[in-house]
Amino acid sequence: MKKILPNLNNKLPLSDAHHNKMIQLLDTLKETTHLKPDEFLYILDHITQVEKEYLFSLAKATKNTYYQNRVYLRALIEISNYCKQGCKYCGINHTIETVERYRLSKTDILKTCETAYLLGYRTFVIQGGEDAYYTDELLVDLIHIIKHIYPDTRITLSLGERPKASLQKLFDAGVDRYLLRHETASKRLYEHIHPAFMSFEHRRQVLTNLKEIGYQVGAGFMVGLPTQTNKDLVKDLDYLKDLSPHMIGIGPYLCHSQTELAGNQSGSLDETLVMVALTRLILPKALLPATTALGTLHNTGREQALNAGANVMMPNVSPTENRKQYEIYQNKICTGDTSLECRGCIETRIKAFDHEIDLGVGDFYDLERTKNDR
Ligand code: SF4
């Protein structure tokens, strides 16, 4: 039984009264960037294809106000598929014995940064499972080297929940941004998709810590999770509005057959795009990636996200031989391509949807303005 956005695929239009109320709520959201929880719930409970198209047009117009049709590219480097955590949806969590594990050395990572830099990328996103191999000492040294060789770049880390003192050291060493999806703002749902040793409160505390330290912070959530309801999604919108992260990654839940959640239905493209568009309206200046998971669901999923308010893409520059091993979900796209092929492919795709690539560092809107005003 469908749990979220139940009318999204309805062929029948809403009654005039419902349709008019939806349009009025969406217009108010665009103007004020906020709605009450019951108003968000009304949208999610009633939205059909007709109002979806209107929502996308508002989200795209909002994005264009700040970022025009530019799409920032980030080079994604997946450094390790070792992880001590046990997220039940994840194909590389520590319980999955069939995974062939790998990790990149400092030298491997530096070589990959060089490849990425030569391809024009000016943000390196260093992502991995929670792997104790990457000590503060190793990372601080790595960051110093990267910043020394490539002073005109930004470094983003996505290495899970680290202690505040560790995050402070990495920030002091020169890391600019940190991605840590909150996954879901519903405590009930968080506990359903994580083992008992993982804490809803702790994850949110780490996000608060990142903001206090001064990072450009990325949060984010999954759409279509098993047992997820529209009320859970409203909590995501409310939480994001309160936290006001600089970046927000929103992807469909994609069911992995080797995980504890095997057999569940995956999230859909349309459901996810609606949440991307609503997020654009509540946080108009946010950097919103068109996630690779969307490209896995549909050949043009990422490009369609650009038309629903997204403005970032993260081409994979990890060594091709390791890409298949970083399998948080199955059938991930681009695992057999070289970094050069990915670079060309992504540019063609972005242009085909009337957007342009931007190879600048792509900071959050207000930070870019501050620098330019100096
Ligand atoms: S989702 Fe991330 S933290 Fe969770 S098990 Fe997978 S790699 Fe580890």
Residue recorded with tokens 């040294």 = 141
What are φ and ψ of residue 353, in 5° steps?
-105, 30
- Cβ burial, residue 277 (10 Å; 0-12/13-18/19+): buried
User: What is the distance between the alpha carbons of residues 115 and 341, in angstroms, rounded to a whole number?
Assistant: 12
The whole-chain average pLDDT of the chain stands at: 95
pLDDT category of residue 10 using cuts at 50, 70 and 90? confident
Cα(146) to centroid of ligand 1, in Å?
Answer: 25
Answer yes or no: are the C-beta atoms of 16 and 241 closer than 8 Å: no
Structure tokens that stand for 333 in this block: 């796209």
Residue from 130, 202, 225, 258 to probe ligand 1 pocket by mutation (most atoms less than 8 Å from CB): 130
pTM attached to this predicted model: 0.96
CA of residue 214 to ligand 1 center, whole Å: 24
**Ligand 1 mean position to 267 CA, how many Å?**
18
Position 335 scores a pLDDT of 78
What pLDDT is recorded for position 235? Answer: 98
CA-proximal residue: ligand 1, atom 7 (nearest)? 129
* Closest alpha carbon to 74 in 5, 127, 6: 127
- Please give the DSSP secondary-structure letter assigned to residue 84: S
Contact between residue 243 and residue 211 where contact means Cβ atoms under 8 Å apart: yes
Pocket of ligand 1 (CB under 6 A): 83, 85, 87, 90, 92-93, 129-130, 160, 328
Is the pLDDT at 300 greater than 90? The verdict is yes
Ligand 1 centroid from CA 129, angstroms: 6
How far apart are the C-alpha atoms of 326 and 102, rounded to whole Å? 9
- Is 80 exceeded by the pLDDT of residue 100? yes
Atom of ligand 1 nearest to the CA of 92: 6
Banded model confidence at residue 374, pLDDT cuts 50, 70, 90: very low
The pLDDT of residue 326 is above 90 = no
What residue ranges define each of the domains in the chain, with the CATH number in brackets? 60-69+85-91+176-373 (3.20.20.70)
**Which residue, by CA, sits nearest to atom 4 of ligand 1?**
87
pLDDT band at residue 165 using 50, 70 and 90 as cut-offs: very high
Give the ligand 1 atom nearest the CA of 93.
5
